Amino acid sequence: MSELKYRALRTPRANDIPKTVRRIFSYLRRYPVGITMVFICLITSALTMVASSYFFTPIIDNYVLPYIGQESPDLSGFVKMLTMMAGIYLTGVIATWLQARLMSHVTTGVLNDVRKQLFAKMQNMPISFYDTHTHGELMNFYTNDVDTMRPLLAETLPTAISTLFNIIGVFYMMFSLNFTLTIVAAVSIMVMVLITYYLGKSGRKYFIMIQRSISNINGYVEEMFQGQKVVKVFNHEEEAVAGFRKYNDEAFFGSVMTNTFAGMLMPINQNLSYITYAVVAVLGARLCIEGKMSLGILSSFLLYTRQIAGPISNLSQQFNGMMMAISGAERVFNIIDSRSEIDEGTYELVNVVAEDGALKQCSEVTNDYGWKDPGSGEIIPLKGDIRLNGVTFGYEENKTVLKNVSLYAKPGQKIAFVGSTGAGKTTITNLINRFYDVDQGSITYDGIDIKKIKKASLRNSLGVVLQDTNLFSGTVMDNIRYGNLEATDEQCIEAARLANADSFIRRLPKGYDTMLSANGANLSQGQRQLLNIARAAVANPPVLILDEATSSIDTHTERLIEKGMDKLMAGRTVFVIAHRLSTIRNSNAIIVLEHGEIIERGDHDELLANKGRYYQLYTGKAELD
């Protein structure tokens, strides 16, 4: 895949880090009890650390120094203070342990919520979204991008909160112990924070590079694995390796640079903390010598100096994970915030029954349908009359696929499309399904512009059998029932018989209960297509679209299902795309397309008599390319 194409696949990224972080943390509101308990534990843990360090002042000044040189000092007060310190430390340990357990549960819940929201969003995305993203890139959103948020929530957030309260508590105690030394420590802390900020800002683009390159690698690997037979047939192993190396080298460079910036933070902050500790120790010692500070106060102050530098160093160590999480979250939120498939339709497909010469909506399944306008309550009978009026369309700007196409299919007619690859045959069916909207012109369904019909109702009225079969993990029965989730087992079996799939299904190890996986890899291509046809049959739609449905079936299997297909198409409006012209001889109208325009139309006999393009194709004087 070309670099240009991969650039098109990359999701735009935001640049507002605070906004992204707030968005991530907004999911925490769904777990108020857990977060409240975590917050209490973090405050408890931070305050116990602050309080325990202060105990060194009274212990040294009141219970150590006064008894130096005494033969039998009174240690009762000393033991009491140590016992209190041990109790405070134990409380902090329990609070830290409980916080970690609770935060792990909350973090898992948040990631679960994000994945569900992301998946729900993708179900509402237009087909064009999937046209511009590889499967590997889409999977990367669920795995790599979402998972990078875990350390941010489980580690960085608790550390940041603990550090905040630690700093507040420590500075309060430091100011109460000695103002001058506190200013020295504060200056050092500010320098550490500024260094962390500027290094993070400089290295952020490389974290984005890593996320992008991992996405490219996933897409490329998936593409190569799926096309491994093609790679080997054309001896392109070396080219495949070279392509992988290109994206892998980008990931390598990004990782080197991110680790370089992250690696600079730790030693810089550590050395600054050591320098601060040494300066405070020297100044404090002088104050002690001058009698302006006790040895106990200096001991507690030095502990606070180390205590305040430690959390900041810990935060700098988590810099890599934090920036990766923000970059991954930006990509995920870009998808969640992107524009969903637009559906401005109002007409709904409803079951109807005739009463007193008029159609009325009913709740039971009648196999008679109508289009109901929620505004007026009017019900228009569903007949299957579909018309294209001057339709012009292109998938990309300035690249027109259909040019002023007009055609009609009256209820119960079978319309066939013939033409070379890229002539626009499948595009017409895509537009009828409203996978895409026309650029110019209109498509009407029983006289209603399909843009006024709700997409779910429109697609429920259409049965589609595609050339590429897609079977899902589950039983054979589950895959047939996918066409109508309310269908009974008997209806699914009847649909399989209609498609002549019943005989081979019963020969499977467990018949209709046979499990399928990997898109039905344990079935032949023809068997998979038969299940696809059965799935359309159980939906019992009034309009059928057969997009080269029998192209992957051998001629023997095609003859087996011909009668079943005739039964399936009876009384329905049918659109057929076929390369085998023998399968469309009995069509009411055959439309020949070339370069997005209709060049011939008529039934089989009329087109043969005209001796045009269809005649050349049918007699073998020309071939579809």
Provide the H-helix boundaries in 27-148.
32-54, 56-63, 76-123, 127-131, 135-140, 146-147
Mean pLDDT computed over 578-583: 74
Q: Residue 219 in contact with residue 1, Cβ under 8 Å?
A: yes
- The CATH fold assigned to 386-619 is Rossmann fold (3.40.50)
Q: Is 589 helix (H, G, I), strand (E, B) or coil?
A: strand
Q: How confident is the model at residue 116 (pLDDT cuts 50, 70, 90)?
A: very high
Would you kindly state where each structural domain of the chain is located, as residue ranges? 3-336, 348-379, 386-619
CA 463, CA 384: separation in Å to the nearest integer?
Answer: 12
Residue (of 589, 460, 471) closest to 522 by Cα position: 471
Mean pLDDT computed over 468-488: 88
Q: How many CB atoms lie within 10 A of CB 595?
A: 14
Mean pLDDT computed over 110-124: 91
438-458 in b/e form (b: 16+ CB < 10 A) is beebebbbbebebbebbbebb
- What is the CB-side half-sphere exposure of residue 397 using CA atoms within 13 A? 0
Quote the Cα angle for 300-301-307, to 5°.
90
Return the bridge partners of 516, or none.
Answer: 474
Tell me: the pLDDT tens digits for 398-422?
889 999 999 999 998 999 999 888 8
Q: Do the domains 386-619 and 3-336 match in fold?
A: no
* Token digits of residue 198: 């500027």
* Token digits of residue 275: 């320098």
Res. 103: pLDDT tops 70: yes
| Torsion 103-106-108-110 (CA) sign | negative
**DSSP string over 113-135:** HHHHHHHHHHHTS-HHHHHTS-H
In one-letter notation, the amino acid at residue 358 is A
- The CATH fold assigned to 3-336 is ABC transporter transmembrane region fold (1.20.1560)
Tell me: the pLDDT tens digits for 234-268?
677 888 888 888 888 888 888 888 777 767 766 77
Tell me: the pLDDT tens digits for 177-189?
888 888 888 888 7
Query: CB burial class (10 A; 0-12, 13-18, 19+) of residue 339?
Result: exposed
Length of the chain: 625
R_g of the chain, CA atoms, integer Å:
36
Q: How confident is the model at residue 6 (pLDDT cuts 50, 70, 90)?
A: very low
Q: Is the model more confident about 479 or about 517?
A: 479
* Token digits of residue 70: 């005494």
CA 231, CA 242: separation in Å to the nearest integer?
Answer: 13
Q: What is the pLDDT of residue 441?
A: 95
Q: What is the pLDDT of residue 575?
A: 92
Res. 386: pLDDT tops 80: yes
In one-letter notation, the amino acid at residue 470 is N
Q: What is the pLDDT of residue 423?
A: 87
Cα 439 to Cα 263, 386, 404, 424, 611, distances in angstroms: 54, 18, 10, 14, 33
Return all residues near 183 (Cβ < 8 A) that are at least 6 apart.
none
Q: Is the model more confident about 350 or about 256?
A: 350
Mean pLDDT computed over 260-283: 78
Q: How confident is the model at residue 324 (pLDDT cuts 50, 70, 90)?
A: confident
* Token digits of residue 62: 């009141």
Q: How confident is the model at residue 473 (pLDDT cuts 50, 70, 90)?
A: confident
